[in-house]
A and B are shown apart, each in its own frame.
Chain A
Amino acid sequence: MRKGSVAVQTHRSARTSSRRKNAVTALLFLAPALVAIGLLRVVPFLGAAWSTLYKRVGVGLLAEQKFAGLDNYVTLFSDPLFRGTLLRTVAFNLVINPVQIALAMAVAVLMTRTIPLRGLWRTAVFVPCTIPLVGSSIAWGVALRGDGPVNGILQALGLSSQPFFTSPQQALPSIILVASWVGIGYWMLFLIGGLNDVNAELYEAASMDGANSWRTFWSITLPSMRRPLLFVLVADTVANFVLFVPVQLLTNGGPQESTTLLMFDAYRRTYTYSQPNLGATSTLVLTVIMLAIVVVQFRLLKDEDSR
């Protein structure tokens, strides 16, 4: 064997051994996260998926799980209440997410303009987003009571009192209010970050060209903000698809099912109605929808990544 080839060989084996060492290190470093995701996400998901194929037969301690094929899915999708819940959840998200993000964007733009005491106004908008959703639910639960201050104000203005949470027409919009009061300031934070990153030279160029604020917004701010806006829209959708707290605390899905969203439906089937298999089926439907949205969100992040 000649000298050169020995050198090449040792070099090569050093490389493979370093690669192997890398793989071992990677495994050690990744193991805790992989175990966590396995036990906390994959196992329960598979368990839930498996249990959707079974039915509980009998009552109490004598109950046993019997294989039922796709019966649970058939039951669920032929239930008009469930179909209503699914449609309502989608419609709810089609309204609340664009509204929240549009308002968050409007407020973010307003709060990045040069105006006196800007920091103070910005903080005021930001304060509610430090309040957990349960706190917002309590605040609006009291404020929108029949004898609460909002109706007090309406009456003082000569308008009639509104039922809010107790009316099938107004309950869901009231829940949107509960979620938006804390949500808008939160998303505004992300958007302000994005607005600050818009290239200042573009604004200077626009100002040289004599473009007014309105035009500048449409032709510079908005296109530059495409990615952050899309990101917060998807992230907001992920959060609102599993909205649960105000429904459970304020309306219990009512009146007349008008606030029953998918997450609450899964909860109620499992715990209130003691139908864990149907609850799991509902959960599975929700998870599949979530997975689809999250994959979109991940793609958005990845594009950011390769820029």
Chain B
Amino acid sequence: MTATTVRSRAVSASPATGRRGMRPQKVLLTALLTVLAVLTAVVFILPALWMFLGSLRPGNQVIESVSPLGWHTLVPSSWTLDNYAALFGELRFGRSMANSLLVAFASVLLGLLISVPAAYALSVLRFRGREAVFAFLVVGFMIPFEAIAIPLAQFFTDWHLNNSYIGLILPGIGNGLAIFNLRQSFRGVPASLREAAFIDGASDLRIMMRIYVPLNVTTVINSALLIFLAQWSSYLWPLLLISNESTQVAPIAIARTFTDTQVNFGQMFGGTLLISVVPAVLLLFLQRFFARSIATSGEK
């Protein structure tokens, strides 16, 4: 059962390794695959690169540089940081970014605070109706929040939670996949550890914090990431809940500039880049935690 966490990942999936002397056929195949991989990479990266470079040129040049099509369509002929200066200055994008960060981190904290004990109870404690509670929680939280966002927004307005951080944070704290993954992972801990701790007089709370959480730190991080990413990119909910600029989050702030009459593509691209940096950094460093989801783990 612990295989999910301790399995060696050194195995390469490629069948084409192992033989030393490569036959010409194989060389050709590798060359072909490399070309294909490079082309795929270019298709995916080019729009991102175009956006990044577009944020470093005067806004009007983004479209002007299209004709004539050439090197300068992609690479600025004049470089500037004005777009970023405007974003952090008059557009107050820094504040929206700070709001987004606050909401996402608070959601992770609260989310773990409700998911970890729930997963512990559902994996370790024996009580009647456990499976039903488990299914109810996971299925309930797996229905995408968007599906009921509109009625919930009306309730939140009645409860005076609109235009508040609490209102932004609360819907993000329940994550079905996080609870599911945590429970799977907790079940891998041998029951004898808990029994031994009990004999030493430890409480369930202490056992959870001192044994289960440290032993499953990978899954805890994975759950934290799931919650963070969902909140960071959330769009519909703040659109429904927040009308006040000072509590607005970054995705909405950047979308507002898109629908403005005075469009500056350079600024928009800069803003997009800024909201992408946080998940990019997190995912690049925590990639291995993230890919360890239930879909990919399990015993053979």
A-B CB contacts (within 8 Å), total count? 318
Select which of B37, B66, B128, B130 is within 8 A of A147 by beta carbon.
Answer: B66
CB distance from B30 to the nearest CB of A (A): 6
Question: Would you give the shortest CB distance from B181 to chain A, in whole angstroms?
Answer: 9
Residues of A within 8 A of B125 (CB): 22-23, 25-26, 29
A114 touches B30 (CB 8 A): yes
Q: A287 touching B251 by the CB < 8 A rule?
A: no
Q: Are A51 and B127 in contact (CB under 8 A)?
A: no
A280 touches B36 (CB 8 A): no
Interface residues in B138-195 (C-beta closer than 8 Å to A): 138-148, 150-152, 154-155, 170-171, 173-174, 176, 179-180, 184
- The interface-forming segment of A39-47, A62-70, A75-83, A87-95 is A39-47
Residues of A within 8 A of B265 (CB): 142
Chain A, residue nearest B111 (CB): A36
Closest to B151 in A: A48
- When the two chains form the complex, which single residue of B144, B170, B268, B280 contacts A138, counting CB atoms closer than 8 Å? B268
Contacts of A239 in B (CB 8 A): 144
B113 within 8 A of A: yes
> Across the interface, do B276 and A294 meet the contact criterion of CB distance under 8 Å?
no
The reply to whether A133 and B235 form a contact with Cβ atoms under 8 Å apart is yes
**B117: chain A residues within 8 A (beta carbon):** 28-30, 32-33
| B12-A131 in contact (CB<8A) | no
B245 to chain A, nearest CB (A): 17
A33: chain B residues within 8 A (beta carbon): 114-115, 117-118, 137, 174, 179
- Interface size grouping (class) on chain B: 35 or more
* Given A40-B171, A147-B63, A189-B290, 16 other A-B residues pairs in contact with their CB atoms under 8 A: A22-B127, A26-B130, A30-B137, A37-B141, A131-B272, A135-B272, A139-B48, A139-B269, A149-B50, A152-B66, A193-B297, A197-B297, A267-B150, A280-B151, A287-B148, A294-B176
Interface residues of B (CB under 8 A from A): 7, 9, 11-18, 29-30, 33-34, 36-38, 40-42, 44-45, 47-48, 50-51, 62-63, 66-67, 69, 73, 113-115, 117-118, 120-122, 125-128, 130, 133, 135-148, 150-152, 154-155, 170-171, 173-174, 176, 179-180, 184, 204, 232-233, 235-236, 239-240, 251, 254-255, 258-259, 265, 268-269, 272-273, 275-276, 279-280, 283-284, 287, 290-300
